[in-house]
């Protein structure tokens, strides 16, 4: 029954049953069967209690606020300003617009923290522009999809908040730990573009901007770019909690979009609030369902069974970490980042943190980066589908064009796995690890 517990859930995914119903249905069936005649209403009450306790948490209030802040920034005309600012900085390089695409994703990450929002907002603007300059549409879509995974890695990050809540790890430490890996991915992607630009003679996007032009472009993006500075500065210095920071971010985004940039009208607010509420509701339900799933995994011994199996393969911690990367990469192909963390985080952390002694912050970042890169891998990568919808290009052709960039991201994953100081340097510097 311990093995059936996992297979039942995988079967529900194969049948296209929504993840939340797959989680709750599997949990209910397994608990009922496992306890048999001893099952009574108290077990059902425990199951429901786990569902609600997973949603009713003060730290989780940060999620709806960050989602709202991202929606306000996305709708408030920030994207065009970020692209223009990036172009004045590096548009003169060969392959300039591809570089601009990646740099815009790095800057956008500090505002929205969402790979899907990045792909949609930047893709709709940059893919047509790149195509007009002579890039193939599939290459433009591939660059957009590959760089968008930086969004949930560079803080603020929704999946890191989810992980921090589920595993009881400091959100501030995770935010600090994501900075170097996120910048490594951005830098690695730009190096790959530079290599491809020389090989295929990519066009230059624009002439080198003057200092005055850079200043003017920076001036119009100053207030939006101040958002991550306020957030991270407050969180990492302990001036306010991540939950308080999320509320401040939402309020600040509202003020900037309405009164400073004047790119948002009051009439658009109900639609923004509704989208934020729906997205928040979906995520919170998933968190509650995964809490029930994790509780049931403990009840039937599935977590311990997996731990015994993994530790029985080898005693070499390096090989076990490589195995972790392969496992998470495959999982990321089929499961969205949030559900992957919610389902596997509590189980795998018992093996790697509890049994092998891997640093909890290091493990968390390795896991978050892995499942985030999975968003851009076939066959079920959500970012790939968004890029395909925006570019009107086939998913398989985008996936093929993405291979060089995917190789860079996999290399970064193995680097941060083998060298934990790449992850822990900033948290230790700030006294968070």
Neighbours of 186 (CB within 10 A): 21
CA–CA separation, 289 and 65 (whole Å) = 21
Contact 364, 177 (CB under 8 A): yes
CA–CA separation, 356 and 352 (whole Å) = 5
Helix, strand, or coil (residue 153): coil
Below-50 pLDDT ranges, the chain? 37
Note the pLDDT of residue 37. Answer: 46
Closest CA to 159 of 386, 350, 341, 28: 341
Note the pLDDT of residue 191. Answer: 95
Neighbours of 255 (CB within 10 A): 13
DSSP 226-265: HHHHHHHHHHHTTSS-HHHHHHHHHHHHHHIIIIIS----
Note the pLDDT of residue 300. Answer: 67
Note the pLDDT of residue 52. Answer: 78
Torsion angle of alpha carbons 24, 352, 53, 110, nearest 10°? Answer: -100
Tell how far CA 195 is from the center of its chain. Answer: 27
CA–CA separation, 342 and 350 (whole Å) = 14
The 10s digit of each residue's pLDDT in 117-153 is 788 888 888 899 888 888 999 999 999 999 999 989 9
CA–CA separation, 153 and 351 (whole Å) = 23
Q: If you compute the radius of gyration of the chain from its CA atoms, what whole number of angstroms results?
A: 22
Q: Which two tokens stand for residue 298?
A: 């403990």
CA contacts within 13 A on the Cβ side of 145: 36
CA–CA separation, 160 and 63 (whole Å) = 10
Q: What are phi and psi of 94, to 5 degrees?
A: -65, 130
Helix, strand, or coil (residue 204): strand
pTM (2 decimals)? 0.83
Note the pLDDT of residue 43. Answer: 63
């Amino acid at each position: 029954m311990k093995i059936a517990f996992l297979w039942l859930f995988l079967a529900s995914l194969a049948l296209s049953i929504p993840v939340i119903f797959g989680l709750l249905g599997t949990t209910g069936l397994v608990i009922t069967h496992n306890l048999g005649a001893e099952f009574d209403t108290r077990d059902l009450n425990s199951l429901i209690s786990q569902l609600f306790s997973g949603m009713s948490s003060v730290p989780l209030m940060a999620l709806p606020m960050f989602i709202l802040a991202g929606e306000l920034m996305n709708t408030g005309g920030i994207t065009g300003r970020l692209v223009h600012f990036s172009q004045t900085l590096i548009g003169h390089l060969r392959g300039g617009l591809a570089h601009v695409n990646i740099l815009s994703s790095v800057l956008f990450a500090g505002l929205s923290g969402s790979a899907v929002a990045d792909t949609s907002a930047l893709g709709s603007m940059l893919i047509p522009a790149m195509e007009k300059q002579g890039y193939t549409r599939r290459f433009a879509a591939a660059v957009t999809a590959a760089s968008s995974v930086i969004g949930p890695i560079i803080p603020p990050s929704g999946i890191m908040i989810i992980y921090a809540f589920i595993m009881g790890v400091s959100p501030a430490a995770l935010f600090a730990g994501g900075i170097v890996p996120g910048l490594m991915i951005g830098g690695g992607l730009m190096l790959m573009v530079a290599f491809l630009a020389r090989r295929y003679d990519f066009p230059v996007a624009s002439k080198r901007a003057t200092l005055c032009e850079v200043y003017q472009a920076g001036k119009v993006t100053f207030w939006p770019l101040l958002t991550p500075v306020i957030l991270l500065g407050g969180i990492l210095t302990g001036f306010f909690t991540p939950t308080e920071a999320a509320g401040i971010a939402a309020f600040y985004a509202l003020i900037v979009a309405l009164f400073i940039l004047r790119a948002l009208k009051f009439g658009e607010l109900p639609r923004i609030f509704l989208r934020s509420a729906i997205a928040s509701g979906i995520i919170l339900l998933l968190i509650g369902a995964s809490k029930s799933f994790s509780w049931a995994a403990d009840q039937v011994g599935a977590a311990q069974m997996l731990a015994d199996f993994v530790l029985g393969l080898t005693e070499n911690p390096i090989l076990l970490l490589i195995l972790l990367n392969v496992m998470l990469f495959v999982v990321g192909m089929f499961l969205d980042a949030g559900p992957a963390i919610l389902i596997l985080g509590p189980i795998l952390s018992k093996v790697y943190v509890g049994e092998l002694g891997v640093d909890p912050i290091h493990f968390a970042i390795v896991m978050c980066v892995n499942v985030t890169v999975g968003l851009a891998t076939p066959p079920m990568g959500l970012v790939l589908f968004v890029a395909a919808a925006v570019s009107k290009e086939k998913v398989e052709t985008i996936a093929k064009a993405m291979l060089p960039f995917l190789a860079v991201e996999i290399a970064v994953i193995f680097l941060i796995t083998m060298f934990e100081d790449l992850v822990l340097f900033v948290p230790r510097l700030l006294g968070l690890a």
